Structure formats: structure tokens, C-alpha cells
Structure 1
């Protein structure tokens, strides 16, 4: 358990909790540990190296073993990445020549010849019926022996591990940060919060838990520890019941409620009763989740507890036996009667709902006076709206001024994305500008004004993480909409998957688009060589895990966009396999090395979505000829089987255009608001850092920062979002 918790801290913070052990002469072992880390793209900070050097050799070796396992998994080096073509990217055959070779081998195989001849006579051939197709013909060790060693380069990735505090302190800090996050967490972080809450339920607690899913996870731990849960809406109780049943606290997927012990049932019913007794209007919230409430009522037996009549009312509303008019229905009635001023007055009692309806209200208002009233109401209630919603609305109206004809992008909570034409009438420019100015002023008021701000230039184009669901778990992963530079001449994608129960075939492909988003060409198992690229070969099952790669020479690519994608051809989905992840590597020129080299990995992200086609990111060529990545983290629905790049190119290009042409709010925008007034702003060039405390914002933490500095990196970028 201790190793699991230490690993959790390393993944989230890139800090190693202060190693314990007896004092000794561990300098040699510490240097060997540092060298081993370098092989997977990590290194020890000077402070951590000094701390380890003062421990016994045995303590250092023990720490090294645990840490190396963690960082290897972070970068994807904990599994064996074999390639179908043993000396990939060299000697990749022409696609049709390769298929004919497989056919020839099958005809020479007594067990396969008859079936192949029958198929050929019918005019079609199933490649999976060929013994030589889709299955590794060599071992991992044989593949390694066929590859040259990778020569170290100054361009290799180096991720520094810093010295942390004691494990208990690090766990408490991480728990407070995740539980008190102002933005929703991704699925992996929510699971980690559950682990942390079990350890920290009786310790220090955040001042508030604004995200309801986080509150449900914390409430589950509080209940197990004998502490009253935090409940102030009927939906809080429903989410807690889902958590206790091992279900989905986001309420996006149905939960099969378990039979709950009588003491737990009493807590839930008492909670419902107290919420409704304090504010009967909250009964209206039941309508949003009527079916789950009906099923929960069957487990809680409210009729057995007459002392909580308000709890019984909740389930009466769910069954339609008691009326509770919803707030939204009252708003819709006013808008249906074209009474926009009345709708605005009502919505002022629900600031978040008013903000989410601003676009519709501005388009529906009668004349300039009506629009003035909408903007004035928004400015008036802005201080009562969460920072995340203010920023989301600010980004929305920033994109409403564009008239490019780009489609709108829609993304649900599970990362499923789709594009649709934008048919909305425009919002008048003057009203839009006054509204965005008011939002800027409100955000500027909330943001801290540090004395000195130190910025890594590479972080400025990172999109603000308004939701943890707009990213993926992994290493070097940026939020959806972020832009990052691509430095290197060779770009290599990789995907790894391991099936759980059924034969599963994932296909790594790359779609190349022109500047107008039309298809130029592609690389896939049906096109092994194209436009300076090579595909490592099609692997069609993964009982022991399988990898596929695509290697591209960026200087030979003539298209404007490179869109890597992972298609599910057959078998288990991304959330059903035992493991699956995607990433990319960058190398200089013609550097050799095995197909997967952890030092060259720039990004590795988990594949966990409900669609059958994964679009992690897109690479686009800028006007100056350089390449940059724009992060997508999207899944397309696809079809149930046989998804291929040739078939989904139209839908992929629409989604890519919708995201590529959308302007996301970035760190540059937020730090621009922070840097007004007396703040001194410096761009960090990779050299020595100031001796005084600073607020540092960057992709990674530099060494030598003053201990009183506030440090914001990718791992805690959500802390930038004001409450």
C-alpha cells in the first residue's frame, strides 16, 4: 500500500516523498539510480540526489526499485513494445508486395492452402486467414537484437524528479488539492481521490468542495470513517448512493444500486430529509434524475421511516405522485412568451444558469435596451458565478466573433466528439465586446497579483484546464485545445493494447490533410509506405500485448495536417481492454534505436473513451514551415467493427477543423490579466532562477526556486482557475 501511495504522489507531482532509511554512504548507489532514470527520460534533482546520497546503500536501492517501476509505467516502458516488421522503420515492404508474400506462404502451408484457394476463387480474401498475417513472427528479444542502440541526444526528454516532504504530508497536500479542485477531475484523478480520501478522511479538509463528483467520493470515505457526509442537495445524496454501490458518481452511466446496510440507509434518508426541509424548492432537482431516484427508493425503503417525511417526498416526486415544478420550466415558459426581461430577473437567482443562457438571451432580447439589460445583469451577478463558468462563457463569446464558417464542436463528458454546422444568428459585436470586457474585469479581480511572475514561454499556449475531462491521464499531456511546439525531424506514433478476454485488433493510422482539410493521403495497415512515412505492420490480436508504430519524416510531409488515430477494427473497446495507451516520440534526423525508446517519448496518454475511433491530437504546419501539435482528446462513435481510416476521413476532417479553428483561452490570457498593476513579469530562458520568491508557471519545475515560491506546472495547472 505504501508503494502505491508513493507512486500516486510521483505521478501527480513529480516529487519523490522524502525517502526514509538509515544514514550511510549511498552516493554511488544514488548516482547509479540517476543513470538508470536517464535511460527512461528522468533524472534526480540536485536536492534529491543529495538526500539519497546520505542514506545507506540498501535504502537507496530499495527506493530506486520502487521509483523506476513507477516512472517506467508513466512513460509506457513497463511493457514490451514489439514491432511486426523486425527492423522497422527500415525495410518496410510495399503493401501489395507484402500481402502477396503472405498469400504465397499460405499456399505453401498444407493446413491453409485449401481455404485460401477457395477464397481466391470467390474473388475475395480475408487477410486474417493467412498464417503469416497479423501475428508476430519473432520474439521481442530477436527484435531488440536486430536494432541498433540509440545514441543519446541533447534533444531527448528529461523529466526531473524533485525531493518532496514526508509521505503523509505529500498525501495530505495532494488530497486537499484534488478534493478542493475548482474544476471536475478526469476519471483517473477521481479514482486517485477515492484512494486518498480513504487515508485522509479524518485529517485536514479543504475549505470547500465545489465539484459535486469530488464531494461524493469524499462523502463515501467520510461515511466509512464514521463522519457525517456533506450534503446540501438531493443530488448529493444520489451521488453518494452511487459511490456506495460502486457506480458512476458523475451520473452519466446507470448504477445498479446494492442492498445497503440499515445504518447507511438511515444516513441517506436523514440527509434527504434535512435538505428538503431546509429548502423545499430543491425537490425540483429530482426531475433531472427521476429513474435513478426511483431505483434508489426501492433500496432505501423510505416508508419504514415515517420520521423523515421529506425524504419520502423525494421519491414521490420521482414516481410522479407529487408535483415539484422545475426552475428550468419556469424559465422556458417566460422565454416562450418572449418575456426576456422576466426570464433574466428569474435567472438572477441562479447565476450559473443565467451565464449558460447568455447567448440565447442576447439573441432573443427585443432591441438594444433588452440586450443592455442582459449584459447589465451578467455584470451584476458575475461575482456569484464560479471562475470555471466565467472562463467558459468568456471563451464561448470569444469564438462567437469569428465568421469562418467552421463547424461547431460538441464533446460530452466521456470525450465523445462530433461536429455540426453553426446555424446560430450572430451576437451584435458591441454587446459581445461589452460582455467580454465585464468578464475580463471580474476575472482580473479574482486573480492573485504576485509581486514577481516567472513564465516558461512554452506554457503560454496551453489551454486552460476548465475540466479534467478535457485531457487524458498520462505523461506530458496537455488540455484539449493546447498548442505545443514540435522539435525534431522524425515523428513517431505508438499505440499499445492488451486484450482482457476477447481477441482485439486496434489499428494505428495517420490521416494527412491539406490546408482546406481535404484528404491528401494516409498511413495504415493498407498503406504501409507513404509520403516519407512507414507503418510498423498490422498486429491483429494482443493476448500478451501488442504495439504498432508510424514513423514520419516531417521534412517530407507535404500536407498541412497530420492526424494520428487509433481505430478499433475488432474486439474490446478502449474501456474494456486490460490496458491501452497512445503516444509520440521525437528524434533527430536518422537516429537509430529500437521502435520504442522511452527517452524520446514526448507524450503518453491513456486511451479511455466510449467511441471506436480515438483522436488524441493533430499536428499542423504553421506558415513558417514549423510544426505544432494541437491537442484533441476526442473519440468518434465509429462503427461496431472494421473501423478504418479510409472510411472515417470525412468525419475526422470535420472534427479536426472544428477544434483547429476554435480559439481556446490559454495561460497567456490568464497571465495577461494577472500581470497588470505592479507585477513584474519575466520569461524564463532555462537559465538560473531568481533568488527571491516568485510565482512560477511552466511546463515543468526548474531547479533552485526559492522555497517560498508558488509553483504551477502541468501537474497542478488547474490551480490557476479562480474559484
Structure 2
């Protein structure tokens, strides 16, 4: 099959399997076998997809099954063998000190290790990492499987439906248009997949607009290779394209080492810069934000060799400090606000509506009179139609949190997911202006949302935070944006980490911090505390040449704390972005299900760990108002220490961050669907049973089987499509 490598991309992003092109036949038996194999990983074929495969040649069905099983198993983390240190886990996990003494005794019986251990004991302390029995699997994965009871099927097991798609070309084109035209930034995985799709789709249909700059850079690289016109309207568009051509970071968060470029490429970039500055010389002001990057780029482009593009040369003159551009809108507005000239600052910002809206809080707080506040609100109302939907919703979320008491704390999360907590020293925003601005934002958002007709809502999606940035989530399966709430149903909660080192011995440690309702520590599970009344740790693995896994098992009914905070600490070796592979996830089981420590069909979430810190906080489990449990998604990283990070050393910082995220009010799907409902002909809350016969606009976590083919479908895979342009 041509372009077969694109099929896994489509399946991961859409949960649709492209229709197979091939001979018809009697594939019903193979299709049923495929469906049964999928169920072991927690997936199943939709009725329509099963019927499609049943009418194909058996060999074609089997070939499709092999490829798809590899894809879905990787999605949930079932592509690796998850071993544990303690063979009977979660049964018979020893007390921590007893286990350590067993390791010492075993070392004393080992002639090669005895002398060193005796010397350590004479000092009063023993380094666990020097003990032969510590930190290395004492048995093989096959031995683990041989003593594990079979997993008992339960009604609560996950069953993710794969639906029938169109042809592979149709599916890849549709996915390319959706990703390239997204109104919100994509995460790292999304950008990588967009680059793959853009190369394939460069000569085909293109989105009407590409509003996100990072997406535009990825698409421009493909357009440059095919000779198509570039989409450029700022100097940073050219800089991002140059980063893409050199395999660097198109978000401009990390410096890129620019490669030597062929003359046609240099000409295209310089011509693009020249055209941008010629159309709007004020855009030279944008160079200052990335001065060093532009200087390095100029060394590769040799603008002095191309006198026909003098304005491109001006860009690099500004970067070198040889030419002073006009001050930017932000700089001019900042000077005016500093001098107390609010009305004049508003007039300046009227030419930059997005910047005006991101500055609304400060503008209103800077007003000395009601007349000035009225002028700010009036200017905001005039600029509303020119502001992107993502900015409108981001400002709306911000304003929600200016009326709430959170102990005068602010949580700052940068584009890397690194978080800090600081005191909130801002003056309050007058309540009257908060109400007026929120009403304006809601009215404009409602105007932009499509009329949904019959709106069918899955209640489980209503507390999912709007994906206003792809950087507020991670790649993986079942992953929701930061701040989202989802139900946790099951007797046993088991979370896990898996990593595989790349070049150096690497030790990740999985821990679970328990906090009370005031965010004070109730204890923890880790390699220093292997068991509590509530649960067990699977044992410390200290090296991962072939990959390693650690698990924590908790009986939720026994947990008296209000918060369970999983964290992954790097004790030594490579970081999250350096290892060959690392991911976190959690499973839910009924008490009597048994099974191996890792069972794919009980996995509810698996997220990649690719942040810059040395401590990862994927999510927090918190007690729900009805006494049950919920997950709230964090996607945070702490800087941590270069080595020896432990839950005991960061529990105060972790508790402060958890409190900031838990108490923050995130804008959710409930907000947007509430605005959509005002324009709907019918609104139905889906009960999980039969779906309506006619077309609907469905918004939920997963697509139900049997929806009318003309339905508009929004699920967690394409939740970004809910954000208006």
C-alpha cells in the first residue's frame, strides 16, 4: 500500500482505520480474530468497520490487523514488557527496612561483595546501589507471566472503538487540513505529525488559513520544497521557517543551530523578509525579541550578496544594533501606562487588538477614573471582531480567576510545562468592569460558534478544560488538557512509569504523595516507603538498558487522604528528553480482576514524559464532592536537583503547585457548549445508550457507534476544533 506509513498517524489522531483498498473476499473469520485481538488491548472494531473488513480478502485483513495492533498497543504502552521487582506484586511486598536488610544479608553471602559491604557497615551506613540484589530484576518477564493469574474480564474495562474511515488519501488530507488549520498550537507530537503530513499533502488542498505561527513554519517548509508561495506576514515567520529547515525548534523556545543553506533557499528567505518589511516597516520592531537568533541566521544567509533586497538587510542590521527600529506597540503602550496616560495607551493598542486583549487586566487596573474605564471597555468592544477565538477564551479564563480568593497565590506555567508559585500582588479588577468584559467576550464567542442543530452532549466531557494551547498537554492516549477533570471509577488505582535509557545508566523513581484537605502531607509510597495501609510500591529499578517499569497500587476505599499526587523523580542519569523512551500512565481495576501488573485493557491514560525538569507531575487524583475520586490533569515539571531527587525533598513545593492548579478555575467544554446551546434546535444529554436517528452535533470523549453519517463529531482527539477562529 503506498504511503502506508501514514496509516498509524491517522489511527492515533482520529481513531479511524482508513478503508482498505484491495480485493474482496471472505474475511469475516479474520475480522473476528482481529476484533478479539484488539479487545486484549482495550480496543474493538465498530459495527461498520467489522462489516467492511469482513468483505475483504482474508490475507488483506490479516495484514491490516498486524499493522493496527502494533499501533494501538504502542498507544497504550503495551509495546514493551512491563516487569516488576517483586514477583507477587501487589501481594507480599515487604516492609522497606526488612527488604533492605535482606539485600544486605544477601550481599554478605556474596564473596565478591562481602568486603565492601562490611567496610560500609563499619561506618554505620550502606549504599543500596552497591548491593548486588538491589535495583535489578531478580526474574525475567516470562517468569512473571508464568505466575500471574489471568485477568478476569469486568464491565468497567476500557473499550475504545476504532471506526471506519475513508480512503487513506482522504483521511490524510482531512487530518492535514485539521492540524495545519488548527486555531490552537499543537504539541510536540502534533507538530511532528504535521510535518510528515505536510510533505505528503503539499501539492493538494490547503487550509483557508493557518493562524498558528508554528504550524505555518512546518507548512512553509513543505511549500518551499515544492516551489509554492510562502505564507509570511512577520519577520518571525521567516525565522521559524529557517528553524524548521535546520531541524530546530519552530516555537523559538530553544536556540537552533542553523545549517548551511542552498542558494535558492537563501534567496527565498531573504525575498520573504524583504517583502514583509516593505509592506510594514514597523515589523522590524519584532526583531529585538529574537536578536541573537537573527544574528546567527544572517551569518548563514549572507544578505550582503543580495543588494536587490535591502529591507532584508535591515532586519540583520537591527539585530546587530546598527539600526534602531520604531518602538513596538507593546513598548509604546508600556511607556504611556507608566506615565499614567491610559487613554493614549488604549489608542496605540487599538492597532494591535490581540495585544490589547492580553493587556486588558493591566489597562483596567491602571485607570484612575470611571471615564477611563469606560474608554477601555469601549475600545475592547470595538476590537472584539479582530481578536482570535483562542485569545478571547484565554482572556475569559483569566477574568474568571480575578474574582476568586486563592490565598493570594499565582501559578505560572511556561511553554515547557515548568511551573512556579508566587504571591499575587496585583490590585483587584473592579467587579463592574469584570462583568462587562465577560459579557462582551461571551457574546462574541457565541456569535462565532456554529449553529449546532441537534446538540448531543456526553456529560463526561463537560469538565474537560478547553485546549487553548497544545503545550498544556502531552502526547499519548486518553490525555486531557491541563486543568481537566475526569471521573475515576474502580476499586484499584495503579499508576506506572516506564523508561529506557539511551546512552547512560538512568534511574527514574515513581512516587505517590498523599495530601490532606489542607494540602499537608499524609505520607507517601516510594522506594523508601514500599507499603502503606492504602497500597504498595512494586520495587526500585535503578537501571534500564532494556527498559524498566515501576508501579504503585492503591486501594481507593482505604485511602483517607484527599489528594494522591503521582510523581516521577529522576534520581540519576538522563533527563526525560534524553532517554530513548519514557511514559507515565494509570490503570483502573475491580478488586477481583487479578492479572499481570500491566494489563493494556485496564489502561485509562498513557502520556509521554518529555519535559525539561527533573521531576514530573502528570496529574493529581482528588476526592470528588460525592466522595468518589477524580483526576485533574497537571502536565507540570519541576526543575529539581541534578541528581537524587526524592518525594521527601520536594513535597512542600509539589503541594503548593497542586493547590494552585486545583483551585484555579479553568474554562471548560461546559462553557462553550452552554453558549452553543443558545443556538441549538434541541439539546440532549446522552445517556450512553442509543443515539438519535438524524444528524447531530456530538460533543463527547469518544464517538459512539451508530451516529448518522452527516453528524459533526467533536471528541478528545479533535477537541481543538471546538475553539472558534
Fold agreement, TM-score > 0.5:
yes
Question: Could you say which residue in structure 1 is the equivalent of 2:378?
Answer: 376
- Deviation, structure 1 residue 518: 0.6
Q: Distance in 1 between matches of 2:243 and 2:523?
A: 47
1:715 correspondence with 2:717: yes
Helix, strand or coil at the partner of 2:522: strand
Q: Which residue number in structure 1 is paired with residue 219 of structure 2?
A: 218
Runs of 4+ in 1 over 6 A off after TM superposition: none
Q: Distance in 1 between matches of 2:297 and 2:506?
A: 36
**Partner residue in 2 for 1:242:** 243
Which runs of 5 or more structure 2 residues have no equivalent in the other structure? none
Q: Residue 416 of structure 1 contacts residue 635 of structure 1 at CA under 8 Å; is this kept in 2?
A: yes
Unaligned residue ranges in structure 1 (runs of 5+)? none
In the aligned structure 2, how far is the partner of 1:425 from the partner of 1:627? Answer: 36
Distance in 1 separating the partners of 2:680 and 2:283 = 45
Match of 2:388 in 1: 386
CA distance in 2, matches of 1:326, 1:558: 58
Corresponding position: 1:259 with 2:260: yes
Is residue 154–residue 593 contact of structure 2 (8 Å, CA) maintained in 1?
Answer: no
Give the counterpart of 2:700 among 698, 701, 710: 698
Partner of 1:67: 68
Give 3-state SS (helix, strand or coil) of 1:43's partner: strand
| Aligned-partner Cα distance in 2 for 1:648–1:715 | 34
Aligned pairs for 1:326-337 (under 5 A) are: 326-327=327-328, 328-337=330-339
Q: Is the 8 A contact 2:511 2:552 kept in 1?
A: yes
| Equivalent position to 2:604, from 587, 602, 605 | 602
The match for 1:680 is 682
Residue number in structure 1 paired with 2:103: 102
Q: Residue by residue, what CA displacement relative to the aligned partner does 1:698-722 show, whole Å, maximum 9, x if unpaired?
A: 0000011111100000000000000
Aligned equivalents of 1:65 and 1:2: distance in 2? Answer: 17
Per-residue deviation, 1:264: 0.5
The structural deviation recorded for 1:591 is 2.2
> Which position in structure 1 is the counterpart of 2:560?
558
Distance 2:428 2:680 in 1: 38
Structure 2 residue corresponding to 1:454, chosen from 442, 456, 470:
456
8 Å contact kept, 2:408–2:425 = no
Match of 2:501 among 499, 502, 516: 499
For 2:591 and 2:434, the matched residues in 1 are separated by 48
TM-score normalised by the chain length of structure 2: 0.99
Q: Using the alignment, how far apart are the partners of 1:678 and 1:110 within structure 2?
A: 78
- Do the aligned partners of 2:153 and 2:593 also contact (CA within 8 Å) in 1? no
The CA deviation string for residues 113-139 of structure 1, in whole angstroms up to 9 with x for no partner, is 111111111122110000000000100
1:285/1:326 contact within 8 Å kept:
no
CA distance in 2, matches of 1:590, 1:523: 23
1:407–1:657: 8 Å Cα contact kept in structure 2?
no
Following TM superposition, by how much is the alpha carbon of 1:590 offset from its aligned partner in structure 2, in angstroms? 3.4
Name the residue aligned to 1:521: 523
Q: For residues 406 and 692 of structure 1, what CA distance do their matches in structure 2 show?
A: 50
Q: Deviations over 1:545-583 (max 9, x none)?
A: 000000000000010000001000001111100000000
Query: Which residue in 2 is equivalent to 1:193?
Result: 194
The residue aligned with 1:293 is: 294
Residues 596-630 of structure 1 show CA distances to partners (whole Å, capped at 9, x for unaligned) of: 00010000111110011111100111232111111
Q: Does 1:118 align with 2:119?
A: yes
User: Post-superposition shift, 1:219?
Assistant: 0.5
TM (norm. structure 1) is 0.99
In structure 2, the partner of 1:278 is: 279
SS of 1:692's equivalent?
Answer: coil
Q: Which residue of 1 aligns with 2:638?
A: 636
Tell me the CA shift for residue 677 of structure 1: 4.0
1:583 aligns with 2:582: no
Conservation of the 8 A alpha-carbon contact between 1:495 and 1:547: yes
> 2:627 corresponds to which residue?
625
Aligned to 2:673: 671
Query: Which residues in structure 2 correspond to 1:373-522 (within 5 Å)?
Result: 373-405=375-407, 407-522=409-524
Contact 1:406 1:657 in 2 (8 A): no
Matched, 1:649 2:651: yes
Counterpart CA distance in 2 for 1:678 and 1:54 is: 39
Q: Deviations over 1:170-204 (max 9, x none)?
A: 00000000000000000000000000000001100
SS at match of 1:338: coil
Aligned to 2:317: 316
Q: Whole-Å Cα distance in 2 between the matches of residues 157 and 635 of structure 1?
A: 28
Question: Residue 628 of structure 1 aligns to a residue in which SS?
Answer: strand
CA-CA distance at 1:2 after TM superposition: 3.1
Q: RMSD value over aligned CA atoms?
A: 0.9
Specify the alignment match of 1:531 in structure 2.
533
CA distance change for structure 1 residues 50 and 223 in 2, over 3 Å: closer, same or farther?
Answer: same
Contact between 2:452 and 2:679, CA under 8 Å: does it hold in 1? Answer: no
